[in-house]
Amino acid sequence: MKGKKKDIGRNSSDNNGEKKELLSKTAGKMQEKSNTEQLPYEESHFIDTTLPVWNYSLLTDEDVRNFGAGTNYSIYKKMGSHSIQVLNTWGMYFAVWAPNATAVSVIGHFNKWEAGAHPLTARWDKSGIWEGFIPAFGMGEAYKYHITGFEGRVTEKGRPAGAFLGKTAFHCIHQLGFVL
């Protein structure tokens, strides 16, 4: 037999052993990959701590896909503002959906309401979500989103989720004829 090698001395149990070993190695690599996906953001991404707003995300790719499809029913747990600890530093994580924005920053007493001093970063996936982490941001600090949109139009928005909209404010809005 020219060009072909005959496997002499091997039986089917040896081949099964090799297959099992190969499957075991493949399963091990898959397990390593899934463990990597479960790492905290700061362990799998570089965070530039020299900036006033650190590049940080609580959102996974699955969160963003489901948000885009309208099926992420717990997105409020990651969008808005959340007090968290990043690299042993407490601060506030911000995430806001502003799909037509050209710039988004957080303004408040902490930065003398200066637009652009604490800019959020647009996600790379073109989801329209802007996010970032502001270290040492005080709990209960008043803030707004300063949003620059189409043709430079500027809008300032308070907390979009409106969790602190009290009954009095709701009653006034209702009396003015607006429906929520």
Give the C-alpha separation, 132 to 23, whole Å. 41
Average of pLDDT values for 105-128? 96
pTM for the model: 0.68
pLDDT tier at 41, thresholds 50, 70, 90 = confident
Map out the domains of the chain as residue ranges: 43-175
According to CATH, the topology of domain 43-175 is Immunoglobulin-like (2.60.40)
Q: Between residues 50 and 179, which one has the greater pLDDT?
A: 50
The terminus-to-terminus CA distance of the chain in angstroms comes to 83
pLDDT tier at 20, thresholds 50, 70, 90 = low
* Residue given tokens 């957080």 in the structure block: 106
Give the C-alpha separation, 109 to 124, whole Å. 30
Query: Which long-range CB contacts under 8 A does 64-70 form with residues at least 24 apart?
Result: 64/123, 64/125, 64/127, 64/129, 67/97, 67/127, 67/129, 68/127
pLDDT computed for residue 160 by the predictor: 57
Instruction: Enter the tokens of residue 34.
Output: 């899934």
DSSP-derived 3-state class of residue 106: strand
Q: Between residues 160 and 177, which one has the greater pLDDT?
A: 160
pLDDT at 133 over 90: yes
Give the pairing of strands 103-108 and 80-86: unpaired
Nearest to 80 by CA among 156, 146, 149, 132: 132
Average of pLDDT values for 91-105? 96
